[in-house]
Amino acid sequence: MQLAHQRSWKTILTLRKYFIEFHETTSMLNISNNKLPEETINYPFSSLKKTETANAKLFFRVWTWTFIVFGISFLFLPWTQNIQSEGKTIPLNPSDRPQTIDATISGRIEQWYVKEGDRVNKGDTILFLSEVKSDYFDPNLVSRSKARVVNKEGSIQEYLSKIQALNDFQRAIESEVLLKQQTIKNKIYQIVLKIDADSIDLNRVKLDLQIAKIQFDRTVSLNEKGIKSVAEIEEKKFKIQELVAKLNSAENKLNISRNEKINLQVDEKVILNDFIQKTSKINSDIAAARASIMDTESYLDKLRSEASNYEIRNGFYYITAPQDCFITRILKPGLGEIVKENESVLTILPASFPLAVALYIRPMDLPLIEKNQEVRFVFDGWPAIVFSGWPGNSFGTFEGKIAAIDNDISDNGLYRIIVAADEKRKKWPKELRPGSGAQGIALLGDVPLWYEIWRKLNGFPPDFYGSGIEGEKIEKIKGKAPLKAIK
Q: What is the pLDDT of residues 74-126, one digit of tens each?
A: 777 777 777 778 888 888 887 777 888 888 888 898 889 998 888 899 889 99
CA–CA separation, 394 vs 444, rounded Å? 16
Residue 221, number of CB atoms within 10 A of its CB:
11
pLDDT digits (tens, 9 = 90+) for 181-200: 888 888 888 888 888 888 88
Q: What is the CA angle 122-126-131, rounded to 5?
A: 125
Q: What is the DSSP string of 213-253?
A: HHHHHHHHHHHHTTSS-HHHHHHHHHHHHHHHHHHHHHHHH
Q: Contact 327/345 with Cβ under 8 angstroms? A: no
Q: Could you tell me whether strands 119-120 and 374-379 are parallel, antiparallel, or unpaired per DSSP bridges? A: unpaired
Exposure string of 342-380, with b = 16+ CB inside 10 Å and e = fewer, is: eeebbbbbbeebebbbbbbbeeebbebbeeebbbbbbbe
Of the candidates 91, 90, 86, 82, the one whose C-alpha atom is nearest the C-alpha of residue 374 is: 82
Give helix 54-75 / helix 2-27 axis angle, nearest 10°: 170
pLDDT digits (tens, 9 = 90+) for 287-335: 998 898 899 888 888 888 888 888 888 888 899 998 888 888 888 887 8
**438/456 Cα distance (integer angstroms):** 24
How far, in Å, are 92, 189, 265, 313 from residue 183 at the CA level?
Answer: 90, 10, 11, 68
Q: Record the pTM.
A: 0.51
| Residue 112 · residue 330 · CB < 8 Å | yes
pLDDT score, position 164: 92
Phi, psi of 146 (to 5 degrees): -65, -35
Integer angstrom CA distances of residue 297 from 5, 141, 300, 304:
88, 21, 5, 10
Phi, psi dihedrals of residue 389, rounded to the nearest 5°: -85, -15
CB distance 87 to 358 below 8 Å: yes
**Cα 53 from Cα 43, distance rounded (Å):** 15
Q: What is the pLDDT of residues 352-407, one digit of tens each?
A: 778 888 888 888 778 878 888 888 888 887 776 666 666 666 666 788 888 888 88
The beta strands (E) that lie in 97-186 are given as 99-102, 107-112, 119-120, 125-130
d(CA 197, CA 190): 11
